[in-house]
Amino acid sequence: MAESEPHTPQFDDGDIAWMLASTCLVWLMVPGVGYFYSGMARSKNALSLIMLCFLSVPVVSIQWFIWGYSLSFSRTGGPFIGNLRNAFFIKVRGDPTLMVESVPEIVHAIYQCMFAAITPALAIGAAAERARLGPMLIFIFIWTTLVYDVIACWIWSANGWFKAIGGIDFAGGTPVHIASGAAALAYCMIIGKRHGHGRDEFKPHNIVNIILGTTLMWFGWFGFNGGSAFGANVRAAMAIMVTNLAASFGGLTWMLMDYRLEKKISALGFCSGAVAGLVCVTPASGYITPPISVIFGILGGAMCNLSVKLKHLMDFDDALDVFAVHGIGGICGNILLGIFADKEIAALGGEKIQGGFIDGHYVQLAYQLASSVAGLAYSFVVTAIILYVLDKIPLLRLRMDPEAEELGTDESELGESAYYYLDRVVNSIQLQIQSKTIMSSPAQIAQINDSANHLVHLNRS
């Protein structure tokens, strides 16, 4: 009797092309986060935030290559963490993924690398304007290993405990948003408040950067959620549709909630709400219909808007409201998913589920609550331990000196500035005063000096 021939995978070129395009879209979200955070900070910290988010890509890519992918997605791992079978991408080649047979594992590996890279980039915003950059990069490497890889294994690995009990999370409600939100909360509590917190005004310095960052994130999110269908199919199209709707309703909801207080249409409010809507719909984007996504957008925008007040009630300094948007938004999305998960939408991609609370599968809500609580608690506790240990190592002290903090992270940590033109304007005015090439009246010179000093103050604030 002849031996049976080995099974040859039948990959789909269209699915592979869509996954590679989605990888590029998710990569684009990382500088989007940087610009979003940069605009929300003061100008003296603008460049460092863009650079920190950008550096998350190479740091996590190296970690993912060494052991991150293997710990998260190895085929023979345990329910809580994988093993080192695929360390250094050994044997990660042309075998089908465990998700679908139409995509090779190497495509899955690089796509998931982008998810791993953006998650710590989200978290570090909470410690903006007072954290040292070197220790933060080391933190990103360690945190990705001990927190992100573990939670990703729970949620998405074939052997993960959450997947085994019937839990669902389409694109990262727990591994990405709840984990980063909890880490942000721990980071800002461990590192302490910014100098002047509660006394000085910490206003966003560049709303245009915020809009640019939101644009890049919104655009990239189509690959973040749509790519999680692992193919160019109807489910991917549905995921993109509900993602766009949730972002739209989330942005308008936040903007209207701010309008009732300020009687102004706020660009910052709309951008914050759009991101909140995107966060909230992420875990559910492959399981809900377009009408239901409206609920996700409205409730996500409203809950995250109200959650911004938590930092005042609990007296912590989350500089860029990471916990309010990503932590609370992720929890809200998980809970709503437990209620509204639709088995017919899941079937568009060949996945079989029993639905959510509305479909009579009441235990699904309990599963989603378990994921939220476990992810929040694990990320917060382990992050706090990592930061506590790092801060005890002399060269890895987490916080800048007061003088360096006053100068700003751009000059004190990078030695570069996002706004050199202001310095040049000030220097030019001062040189002209000294050479008497401009008005020589004492009153006029005093006025020009005041203007120059005001520019210096703007540049440093």
C-alpha 127/C-alpha 137 separation (Å) is: 13
My answer on whether 302 and 427 are in the same domain is no
**Statement: residue 451 has pLDDT above 50:** yes
C-alpha 178/C-alpha 149 separation (Å) is: 14
Binned at pLDDT 50, 70 and 90, residue 272 comes out as very high
Residue 409 lies in a domain: no
The Cα angle at residue 373 between residues 370 and 375, in degrees rounded to 5 = 100
Q: Which domain holds residue 139?
A: 13-403
Average predicted confidence (pLDDT) for the chain: 90
Residue 358 lies in a domain: yes
For 174-204, write each residue's pLDDT tens digit. Answer: 999 999 999 999 999 999 999 888 777 788 9
Contact 356, 166 (CB under 8 A): no
Mean pLDDT computed over 256-285: 95
pLDDT at 432: 60
Contact 298, 160 (CB under 8 A): no
C-alpha 31/C-alpha 446 separation (Å) is: 42
Choose one of 355, 375, 403: the last residue of a domain. Answer: 403
**Statement: residue 442 has pLDDT above 70:** no
pLDDT at 4: 46
Say which DSSP state 174 is in. Answer: I
Query: In the chain, what are the helix, strand and coil shares in percent, each to the nearest 5?
Result: 70, 0, 25
pLDDT at 426: 52
Residue 398 lies in a domain: yes
C-alpha 171/C-alpha 229 separation (Å) is: 9
Domain of 226, CATH number, reads 1.10.3430.10
Residue in the block written with tokens 């085929």:
75
C-alpha 75/C-alpha 157 separation (Å) is: 8
pLDDT at 427: 54
Residue 4 lies in a domain: no
pLDDT at 77: 83
pLDDT at 111: 97
My answer on whether 369 and 444 are in the same domain is no
My answer on whether 121 and 51 are in the same domain is yes
Would you list the DSSP string of 27-68? HHHHHHHHHHHHHHS-GGGHHHHHHHHHHHHHHHHHHIIIII
Mean pLDDT computed over 399-415: 92
Binned at pLDDT 50, 70 and 90, residue 419 comes out as confident
Instruction: Return the percentage of the chain with pLDDT > 70, whole number.
Output: 89
Domain tally, the chain: 2
My answer on whether 91 and 117 are in the same domain is yes
The Cα angle at residue 163 between residues 159 and 168, in degrees rounded to 5 = 155
Contact 108, 69 (CB under 8 A): no
The Cβ of residue 299 has, within 10 Å, a number of other Cβ atoms equal to: 22
Residues 6+ apart with CB under 8 A from 7: none
My answer on whether 286 and 429 are in the same domain is no
My answer on whether 375 and 434 are in the same domain is no
My answer on whether 60 and 172 are in the same domain is yes
- Return the structure tokens found at 368: 């989603």
Residue 1 lies in a domain: no
**Statement: residue 324 has pLDDT above 90:** yes
Span of 283-292, 404-413, 430-439 with lowest mean pLDDT: 430-439
Binned at pLDDT 50, 70 and 90, residue 1 comes out as very low
pLDDT at 58: 98
For 123-136, write each residue's pLDDT tens digit. Answer: 999 999 999 999 99
Binned at pLDDT 50, 70 and 90, residue 88 comes out as very high
For 133-143, write each residue's pLDDT tens digit. Answer: 999 999 999 99
My answer on whether 332 and 428 are in the same domain is no
Binned at pLDDT 50, 70 and 90, residue 430 comes out as low
My answer on whether 399 and 321 are in the same domain is yes
My answer on whether 198 and 323 are in the same domain is yes
C-alpha 421/C-alpha 359 separation (Å) is: 60
pLDDT at 289: 97
Residues 6+ apart with CB under 8 A from 85: 70, 74, 75, 76, 77, 91
E strand intervals along 33-169:
none
Residue 414 lies in a domain: no
**Statement: residue 446 has pLDDT above 70:** no
Span of 123-127, 247-251, 308-312, 449-453 with lowest mean pLDDT: 449-453
My answer on whether 345 and 444 are in the same domain is no
Residue in the block written with tokens 């410690």:
127
pLDDT at 197: 81
Contact 64, 113 (CB under 8 A): yes
- Return the structure tokens found at 363: 């235990």
**Statement: residue 424 has pLDDT above 60:** no
Contact 405, 193 (CB under 8 A): no
My answer on whether 78 and 157 are in the same domain is yes
Residue 415 lies in a domain: no
Number of residues in the chain: 461
**Statement: residue 441 has pLDDT above 80:** no
**Statement: residue 443 has pLDDT above 70:** no
